[in-house]
Structure formats: C-alpha cells, structure tokens
Amino acid sequence: MRSIPSMSSCKKLFEGMLMTWIDNFNEALCPLDACYYDLVFLDYHLDGRDTIDSLRRATRHEERNMPVIVLAETEDHLDDPEVIRQGAADYLCKQEMSVSMLKRSVRYAIERKKIEQRLLTLSHYDPLTGLANRNLFYLKLTDGIIQSLRGDKLLALFFLDLDHSKEINDTLGHPAGDRLLQDVSARLKETTRSSDTVARLGGDEFAIIATHINNETDVTLLAKKIISSFNEPFKFTGKQISTHTSVGIALCPTHGHDPDELLRHADLALYQAKAAGRNNFKFYASELDARAQEFRALEQEMRYALQHQDFTLHFQPMFSADGNKVLGVEALARGNHKVRGMISPVHFIPLAESSGLILPLGAQILEMACDQINLWRQLKLPELLIAVNLSPAQFADPELVEKIMETLQRKGVPSHLVELEITENTLMDTGPGATKRLTKLHDMGIRLAIDDFGTGYSSLSYLKKFPVHKLKIDRVFIKDITTDKGDATIARSIIQLGQAMNLEIIAEGVETEAQLEFLRKEGCDQVQGFLFAKPMTNKALIEWLPEYQAKTKHIGC
C-alpha cells in the first residue's frame, strides 16, 4: 500500500503492504481526499463515532474510490448488514485476524473494487469516447440544478450536434465516423473547463453542463469558443474532414428547474440555431417552441419526400446568343408537396442545407437528370446537355468524384452530356482540394461552369488554376444592363475575360430584346431567360422541342 511520505506512523505489516495508522477520523479525511491509498481499514469504534456515519463519509465522496474494510472488536459486530450496504468491501474480527486472512481480505477488497469501477464505467461512461453517458449526464445535471437553485449562480446546458455527420458516415464508413466522434470529444474536453461535464447522449449528439456561471455573457463566450473549436479540420486516415456544429442553450433557473425541461428547451434552441443557418448558437426563448416545431415538421416532410422521390425537375433551355440553337437545359429542382403543391427551391434548399439533407437531395437530382437524358435518347430526341447545380456541401464531399462517376456509369450516361455548375464562393471556400476535384471531373469529360460569376471573390489568380469551361454572368448584372453603367461595365468585363481565357460566357436572366442586343454586341456566347423560354416540365419540354426544331432546325450539343 502507498502512504504519505511525511507521516511518521507508517508500519510495514508484510511484503507489499505499507500501512499508515491515524487514530483520528477527521485527520484521516484529508489524506483520503488526496487519494494516496489503495485501501482503507476503518475501526468499528474509531473515536467512539457512529460506524455507519464514518463509513458513509469515507466512501461517498466521489474522489475517494478506494475500498474500505471494517475492523470489528468482536464477532457480534459482524452481524451488522448495514455495513455492507453502505459500501464496505469486507469486515474482519480483530480477535481472529491473521496475516493470511488479512492478505486474502485485502486481495478480495481490491479486486471487488476493480470490478465495481468497471461496472461503474460501463454504466456511466460512453465506451467510444470516454465521455459521460446519458445516465451520468442526468445525475450531473440534477446535482447542478440543485446547486444553482440553492445559490446565486447560473447553470448552462449546451446541446449540440455535428453538421452532416450522417453523410460523413455514408461517405467514409462508420470506422471513420467513430474516429471523428472521438476527435470531437477530445476537442470539446480541451475547450471546456475541468469543472464542466461533457457528455455524449447518443449518435452525434453532445451536451455540456457548465455550473457556477456568473452571467449570460460568460455563457456566450463559451458558446463561441465551442463553435470556433471546429474551425480547424479534423485530420485522420490521410484525409481532412471539415464539420461544424450548432449549439442550443438553456439556463437554470432562467429557462427551467427540471432536467428534462432544460434538455427539451436546449433541444428547441438547437433547432432554431440550425434553422438560422447552422454553425451558430441560440438561447432558448419561449417563442422558439412554435418555430422549432415547424422546422421539425418541414424536415420530416423533406425526409419523406426524398424517400418517396417526390422531387421533380423542371428544365430551362440554354440558347446560342443569336437564339437559333438550343445548346442544353439547366435542371431546376422542384418540390411536389401534397398540400402546398409545387415548391420553389428558394424555400426547400436552405432547409436541406440546414438539416443536412442537401447531399441525398443533390444525389437524387443527378440521378433524375441522368434518367431524363436516357428518356430523351429513347425518344430519339437530339442530345441535350443538362446543367446541374452543385451545393457547397456536395462539392466539399471528399467522395464527390467517385459518386458522380458511379452514377454516370450505372445510368449509362456519357459524361459530356453533364455540366456541373459551382458557385464562385464555393470554389474559394473549399480550399486547395477544389482544384484537384475539378481536374478529376474535367478529366472524366464533364463540363464545368462557374455560376453567379462576379458576385463572389472574382480572383483571376484562382480562375487560372480551375479547369472550367464556362462562366455564368449572374442575373443581377443583366437586369439593369441597359440602364446601369456599373452593371454594363461588369458584364462587358466578364465577357472580355472569358474571351481572353478561351472560356464560354452565358448570361442568365435575359428578359428583353435590349438586354439581348447588348450581350450580342459585346460578344456573349450563350443566353438563358424568359425572353426565350421559362423553366418547363419534362412533358412540356418534349412537346416544345419539336416545335422549336421545326422553326430553327438547330438543337443539341
């Protein structure tokens, strides 16, 4: 046994056991708290104290995890069942105690304590991350609430989860997903105070209990610290994985006095944080209940729509600048709600991004686009290029290229019939991996277009590195192109830039002859807008194409 080196009352009973004798219970509590010992012998009548009370005080402190053996004067005391119920590992009669009996009791007590600790670990800690599990979380939260209500300090409950964790699991596999959860757990532990409790409640859901908080300003600082801790990508298995978090916060006593109530309010605040765009935090407010319920309902509706393939595609043709040739179509997703009817992407794309459903939605849109290409080929229609928009989350997916290649091969669609539109800001935000992904897609034969060009970074140094085919002038510059000198200058500059770099230029949102005349005069290659054709269903497009072909005899790539 170990002992405090400075104590003079140490005695060596037998090999491997060094015992320190202290004849005053209160004096013994300090070294017990310091955890210098492997085992404690407690005299049944030490100081004339009540044995059960002493035993409770010796075993109930959470820092004292050593086993306790009670030493009784006579066999009569050994009949006290409360001794074992209060945590004693064993008890011995002093009159009958021998060295061999003592050794056996010590070994038994220590082994029993090890087993108890293992069982405690299994029941209180998450085996994957080592964090507190839901059981220990509730115990800590209940205790923290009691302390908060007794004093004048706040308790803050942070509820958070990871953005797009399901997609990471689907992309890299569950072992990588488990490793990510472990790394996230370590980062949360580093970010919080030693007095805080960090728990994993299940899946990618985490909770943090912060006690003895002075004010909401301190809570806000900790919330920002938690969110910023995700700024650095997680690195393992030779890959960099970027994920962020959203945080919902509930305070005791401000937002409730009950563990379940606080957790529900923190959960509602989390949903509000997600609805606001993710990667941020929200405090609970009573008005959040209705908003969160609406968000949850919409999310469930979207999941149902994805499972039942309720999304459809509309198609807007892209023309040569003279309007005499259809060069392709842009695929535009539409939601088909059983009550609300057709829903614009303006409404469901932000929801898909904030709920983490944008990856399965994007994959479904590409599948539908491939199906349309095959249908048109079966109908002997001219080959049409289909442009599909890629979301930032899709482009950041490390398995993007492999997923697109697998879809095209499975559907039997030639890669030159697919054009991917990626916004300028997405390319810049993705970092060094952007060029590598674009190069792989380019080498596959897929056409690449930078959407909304001119509204983002517009860095020529970056543009030179990207193997793209087309720049798309955003409609905001086309709307007033004939009346606003600034818009006219921007459009003219983009066209000249494209010509200098051998890139095609397409202007979207063309609605008047005057706009078209300006673009033709400046040398714009392609146009798209209501002046020529509005987005139409597949059925309407199939009917419209022959009519257009009869007039111009120019359709196809």
Class of domain 134-286: alpha beta
Q: What is the pLDDT of residue 534?
A: 92
Q: Where are the beta strands (DSSP E) in 125-260?
A: 154-162, 197-202, 205-213, 234-236, 239-241, 245-252
pLDDT, one tens digit per residue, over 71-84 is 877 666 555 666 66
Q: What is the pLDDT of residue 76?
A: 62
- Asked if 182 contacts 132 with a C-beta cutoff of 8 angstroms, the reply is no
- Asked if 282 contacts 263 with a C-beta cutoff of 8 angstroms, the reply is no
Q: What is the DSSP letter of 555?
A: B
Percent helix / strand / coil, the chain, rounded to 5 = 50, 20, 30
Instruction: Look up the CATH number of domain 317-552.
Output: 3.20.20.450
- Asked if 329 contacts 335 with a C-beta cutoff of 8 angstroms, the reply is no
**The pLDDT of residue 5 is above 50:** no
pLDDT, one tens digit per residue, over 123-142 is 888 889 999 999 899 999 99
Confidence of residue 1 (pLDDT cuts 50, 70, 90): very low
**The pLDDT of residue 420 is above 90:** yes
Q: What is the mean pLDDT of residues 224-232?
A: 90
Spatial CA neighbour of 160 closest among 202, 214, 115: 202
Q: What is the pLDDT of residue 364?
A: 94
**The pLDDT of residue 314 is above 90:** yes
Spatial CA neighbour of 78 closest among 89, 68, 93: 93
- Asked if 296 contacts 353 with a C-beta cutoff of 8 angstroms, the reply is no
**The pLDDT of residue 303 is above 70:** yes
How far apart, in whole angstroms, are the C-alpha atoms of residue 180 and residue 172?
Answer: 11
How far apart, in whole angstroms, are the C-alpha atoms of residue 472 and residue 495?
Answer: 10
Q: Where are the beta strands (DSSP E) in 94-244?
A: 154-162, 197-202, 205-213, 234-236, 239-241
Confidence of residue 11 (pLDDT cuts 50, 70, 90): low
**The pLDDT of residue 164 is above 70:** no
- Partners of 79 in the β-ladder: none
Q: What is the mean pLDDT of residues 39-56?
A: 69
Helices vs strands, H then E, count in the chain: 21, 21
Q: What is the mean pLDDT of residues 52-75?
A: 68
Confidence of residue 163 (pLDDT cuts 50, 70, 90): confident
Q: Where are the domains of the chain?
A: 10-124, 134-286, 317-552
Q: What is the pLDDT of residue 138?
A: 92
pTM of the model: 0.55
Query: What is the Cβ-side half-sphere exposure of residue 479, based on CA atoms within 13 angstroms?
Result: 3
More confident call, 528 vs 232:
528
Pick the CATH number of 10-124 from 3.40.630.10, 3.50.50.60, 3.40.50.2300, 3.40.50.11310: 3.40.50.2300
Q: What is the mean pLDDT of residues 27-35?
A: 65
CA distances (Å), 235 to each of 116, 226, 239, 521, in order? Answer: 36, 18, 6, 51
Mean pLDDT of the chain: 82
Tokens 């892209």 -> residue: 318
Q: What is the pLDDT of residue 288?
A: 65
How far apart, in whole angstroms, are the C-alpha atoms of residue 407 and residue 368?
Answer: 11
**Least reliable range by pLDDT among 245-259, 311-325, 348-362:** 348-362
Confidence of residue 381 (pLDDT cuts 50, 70, 90): confident
- Asked if 449 contacts 395 with a C-beta cutoff of 8 angstroms, the reply is no
Confidence of residue 7 (pLDDT cuts 50, 70, 90): very low
Q: What is the pLDDT of residue 96?
A: 74
pLDDT, one tens digit per residue, over 466-521 is 889 999 988 888 988 999 888 888 889 889 888 888 899 999 999 999 999 999 99
Q: What is the pLDDT of residue 142?
A: 92
Q: What is the pLDDT of residue 6?
A: 39
